[in-house]
Structure 1
């Protein structure tokens, strides 16, 4: 029993000694250092700790500005003379605040006291400063910046990043912090972190970027003696200035890494090999791998010294050389690129060590070409080489190509115009000297009537009978000879044929034309176009047989100008007209004043406004109708009449009131109502209108009568002769009897009508008188006039003939063209008794004609007897006045 008590006492004493020893196992030689924002703690164990059998645990605690921010516990195996270390990176720059690290050990349930080391922050600053300065961050990370103020600064600090103010935390009386999530790349120039104190800003720079992001490594050989590797930059690091990215290939540095290429001299052998590229910067690194057999990845260099050894009109021979001798042993294929203007032609040639005698055919004569060459391996083809340096050459000239010939006929006039397109420089093969044109009827065949046209002329008008068919041949000539002949057959035109025109509307500067297929179109179709009005040079295009649509575009198209488009079927004989259309590339509004002959006419209470048909040359759009507007004298719209007839020439405004109106006529087009023309009209009442008609009629009649009167007055003589011709008056000749004595005969003068001039032969009237003897019943008394009467056969309206009583001898009186007017009769006293009758048988009538005797010339005692003889000659009148 005593023995067990002693053993228990010994065990308790032993346990107390161990516990005492455990309590004395504390860290020794504790040190604290830093690098940037990383804290490094080192310490060693006491010698007594080596006797411990179980692991020893250490506790680590970090305080920033005396505030715990991190705690960590980790075990270590005690060893005699062992040294331990621990590091931790602070999210805050060490300059911003003090950092304290506390360390203690724990064994079983016994813990040693804390061992403590402190790194103080920056002690004093003269002006506010921002930390950290120029630090590198990866995109997506979280950063804490601080602003440290001088002692005694009373202003509050405000911090902003990238010009954006953020929430600021006050860490101490002189320190403020800003926490930010960096989700963008700053670029090589960095991002400003600013601290505003009062009116001034203070700051630092932060660099935000990525680790290397290169990809797609690919290795090859160019000369079979080295390896060339290329890769792509998948993403820029944005920190090239702050942290460059070095590259290595198989551990060797790359000289041209900035060009994404790296080369090394190696022994190229058959078989695959692993090629490794490494890229590293301060934020990370990337490793790229490519496995390749370089003998199957030969990327040749461009051919050198390319020359055109033999140049002909339509082909050329090329030669070149290699700078790499190994190429002459390879099976090579090469591409030859020939370019002229914007046209490129590529041909491919294959051979072992190919470098000469490559012939390129189908060239254009008299043309300048540029040629380049590139090559690659024929077997296990990898890549084409770069193109060689460009070399040019000029082919020899040749005869021109065949002309594109077309016809232009006029439906209303005789004659045909033959047109041909000007040959392009690539078709003429030299300067054109002239064109030869010949023609003959279709039934005759062959070219006759040859003529020559100058090189600047591309059409010829032929005065041919369009009712007959003709064949026309045109050739172009240059110094090398004539082109192949181009022949076109002109169909006979029939005057009675009619062609239906349909409308077509332009779009995007041209016409989109479609037509129905024709079985007659054995060689395709021809579409030509020309302005509808005026002379023009026809243009045309050819369309293949399997195509029934075309896009018509020309540099000569003008807006507002109507064009006629015709579609012909190309046959072995003459072209066949299929359809014809008219349209505008773009319709334009017609200018005002379209209706230049605007007139109006009142019809009761209606007014008809009319105009002449609109000339086609003045229509800049399709006219679909007309509209008439009317404004009364108060400018109120009272008339709105329209028609959809494009050929109408009048519109009527009905049921208008009396007054003044202004009428406006416009043409309706796709461009709107246009061509405005205006006329003013005044409507009168119906009674006023009738009065006007009567007055106008009276004035018209009065004017006509006035004109007739003036004309009649001026030509009265001619009118009187024509309507009421004069009857000739006898010429009277009186012979006195011998008993009257000598000197008793005197001439009897009768006044002539001075209004009439005529060539009438005189009517001779002979009167034989015997003194104191009766003659034919006429009796003269003393101091009495001679009196005689005529029978009813005579002239009732005869003038009084006065015969003087004393006449020394016989006389002759001449009377020409007696007047039809009734002159005033001189009344004489009739005497009863026998009278003398005229010897030609005239009988007296009831009216007595007295011939008075002048008493001064004839005495009262002188008797007189006479015989009157009348001779009549029909008068002759002139044909016109």
Structure 2
């Protein structure tokens, strides 16, 4: 009974407890359903790290507290949660892992102070990248990261992968498994990188890597200063505590914004100073500017207001110093728009700390502040600098220091001449320049220097030259002037080794009215001044020289030191620590003149009946010439001619080294006069003449006689040969000896009546001769129907008895009235013979002979 009762009691209280729990749960559900949750309308990635959540927020949702959860991957692992007092309808969440690595989901619910919580909204997901290729995708890549942040770096594989280690900046990190295909590492407190960034690898053996760059946000601007040095442009600067570490497209950008004007880009002047300039705005005194610094991590800005009159600090554009012996002149050059301002400039000279000031009214043009510096020491080195300011303003910046050297009281310019022989000798020559008229030079000290100064050997001379023996090695000499004030600054010259071979380029030059303009090629071996020496050739040499700075390859020499018509040679020497060596040689005249010397003709020229070869001798390279010889002129004149212009010929020879010339096509046995002269660019000089007679052409006369003899002999041979041929002609060809026909008057009248052709009207006649044999017939040619245009003459062949003789006589008065065709009975045979009619049948017409005893030849015309 007790056991049953206890069991029932347990069951009873259990049911009551379940009922209470269910009732509470139902109550909570009903309570929660009364509070609505805003919907997440849109979820998008702003960049690789930030995700924007946009909610449908109504008025009842505002000023409420909500809880947002962020889940990762398909399994919705909660990686972040946050509370939100809803005011705006947009929330931005920043991830430690790139959003490309995997899926990120967001949901929201209402929370309050009471224990009753609202229900969660549905998950809204932003999907990560899906790797469909064989290559591994790595994130982040080529990104600018913030220094000191903690980030996750991931690798996305195309298939399941088992990776244990990944590397960041060549350091191994433990792998975090995001999913079967996504692995990541966690890097804390990332340090700033250099320009080349930091690498990230998915494995140690992988050749693929992702580079990223770590920097820091812009810092607050400080030490802002704006000033103008010329009142034309304003320059603003500010200091940078920490120099930027990135460049290129990732570098920090600096800009200056001016109200009512365009923005100005600024640049980093050095690692800790930013500078930007903009032109002065006319009629504007007060400037309100904004300085802006930005990079991919953020921006900083600063406002600055200034008055332009308080920022004027003039800075001289140039400073020049001209030094004398006991004084110097310094010129500060100011360039700007300083009209209406009072400018004060100051210089400082060291050693001694001497200062001077000058005050001038400003202008809009170039201004020179000239300072005269007095009481300086000769041969002393000084430095000077200058600065300027406007009235009531601080001094501007100092100009760079300019060093200058005051001149010596006496200057010695030394040169040398070297003669190589059995005993090598050097002649030292020098000029002295006195800087003060009261300086008196007592002597000159010439020293041969050695490595040990105590071994130097010195001599005193009173002349400005001295001859000294030297060996074949390099040696140094110094020359100093000795005056009542002491020794001058030594002038040193180095004598080169005798083993040095000099190779010079030589060229010709011609001066002008102003003098000689020398120029030469630069020597790459020269380390000290060039020296140009010259001497007038052909006379006793008075050596002159001039020093030229090492960076200069030209020299102008005034015409007053030279004479026209005299050849000069200029030798250019280059210089280094081992002495002066010849570089180029220039030979020329200030002004060329006509040659005064004439060539010498060879007294034995080569003469033929048609040509003359002249030969002569002349030294075209003689330095005593008053011009460069460019060639020769030869004039040929035929003697005993009245017209000299027609009988003379002028020949120019443009080769000065040519010493012969041949004139051809001359007449035989004729006298010619030859005039020869040397020429220069100024013209031809004096002539030398000779008369030469060409030889007789005996060879031509002999040839003419021989030709005549050959012609006579040939004619005789031809006559004999023709006579022999005529003797061998057969007798039967004697009938060819034809005579002209004698036409009697009757025949002429008959011919006129029948209008036959006249003999002179006949164009031609064919005579055919055939062999005549007894009792045979020959073919005789008859010409008829001459009026047939297509056949001018039709030949009819009629058999003729062989007993007919070839001799014919003219017959008149024989006419046949029955003849139907008009026939010219010009030739009638002298022998009568009865012939049958068939004998006269031809291919053309048949003529019947009615007259017995005669045989007629039918022709229309006959001509011989």
TM-score by length of 1: 0.39
The structure, 1 or 2, with the larger RCO (C-alpha pairs under 8 Å, 6+ apart) is 1
Bigger Rg, which one: 1
